[in-house]
Structure 1
Amino acid sequence: MPCIEVKTEIDADIEKCFDLARDVTFYQSTLKNPTEMAIGGKVSGLVQKGDFTLWETRHLYIHQHLTLKVTEFESPVLFVDEMIEGSFKSYKHQHIFKELQNKTLMIDRFYFESPYGVIGKLYDTFILKKHIKNLLVFRNAALKEKAEAL
């Protein structure tokens, strides 16, 4: 299963970064794709363990619905969201936060696997991995900018 890891150093306290990362309203405001939106479950505010959000989106010309659930939560150092329904064979996103001398290191670990066997593995390797990494880098830059401005 592919794993993407993105590390972002932020000149802001860990609680601020943690809360921005789990804020559905803020997340929607940072998306490159304006057609991605929360349409069910927790559609605004801060997610907690057990919360789920139904997302409607279009990526790489594919319209999809993903239901994500927060399965692990340890404030302010970790939360994990996993797909419970959607187009991936598997999907797990770990959001990890570490304090570094008045700064925060935010680590995203995104594990995913597409269906369709060998074709899905090729798609993951040559197309989807780069696309998801670009989305994470873009979103983390927006979170960094907001956290450092507060």
Structure 2
Amino acid sequence: MASFVLERHVPAPPERVFDASLDVGLHLASQSTRGERVVGGPAHGMLKEGDRVTWSARHFGLRLRMTSLVFDVDRPHRFRDRQTAGPFGAFLHTHEFLADGDGTRMRDTIEFRSPLGPLGRLVDAAVMRRHLIAVISERNDAISAHFA
């Protein structure tokens, strides 16, 4: 399985950054360039343990859907979400929030696998890793800007 880790300092306490990371409206705003919208599950407010949400967004010129389950919620330290239906063979996102001086070190660990075996591994190495880093970085830009 392919993976990467992104870290970002956010100038706010972990509790506030944690809550912002589960806010559906902030997530949608962070992905507006992809036309992301909720097509199933909670469409506003803060996601919580056990919530399933289906997102629809444009990636690579295609409108794709991905259903994610929010689990392992330990406010304000971490939560995880994983794809339960969608384009990936597997997708797991671990969100961690660590007190860091005057704010929070937000750490995203993404583990993913495209379908189609060896061909999918080539796609992951050549294209998907870079694309997902851009997607998560845009999301993190929006969270940081929320506290600026």
Does TM-score exceed 0.5, indicating one fold? Answer: yes
Distance 2:90 2:97 in 1: 23
8 Å contact kept, 1:96–1:108: yes
Are 1:95 and 2:126 an aligned pair? Answer: no
8 Å contact kept, 2:24–2:45: yes
In structure 2, the partner of 1:11 is: 11
> Sequence identity, in percent?
28
Q: CA deviation at 1:69?
A: 0.5
Amino acid of the structure 2 residue aligned with 1:43: A
Distance 2:141 2:18 in 1: 14
Distance 1:97 1:125 in 2: 28
In structure 1, the partner of 2:73 is: 73
In structure 2, the partner of 1:36 is: 36
In structure 2, the partner of 1:111 is: 111
In structure 2, the partner of 1:135 is: 135
Q: CA deviation at 1:125?
A: 0.5
In structure 2, the partner of 1:53 is: 53
Deviations 1:69-128 (A, max 9, x none): 012100001010001111110000011000012310000011110000111100011101
Q: CA deviation at 1:33?
A: 2.7
8 Å contact kept, 1:41–1:51: yes
Which sections of structure 2, spanning at least 5 residues, go unmatched? none
TM normalised by structure 1 equals 0.94
* 3-state secondary structure, aligned to 1:12: coil
* 3-state secondary structure, aligned to 2:67: strand
8 Å contact kept, 1:48–1:73: yes
Are 1:82 and 2:66 an aligned pair? Answer: no
Q: RMSD of the alignment, in Å?
A: 1.1
TM normalised by structure 2 equals 0.95
Which sections of structure 1, spanning at least 5 residues, go unmatched? none
In structure 2, the partner of 1:120 is: 120
* 3-state secondary structure, aligned to 2:33: coil
Please identify runs of 4+ aligned residues in structure 1 that moved more than 4 A. Answer: none
Q: CA deviation at 1:59?
A: 0.6
For these two proteins, the number of residue pairs brought into alignment is: 148
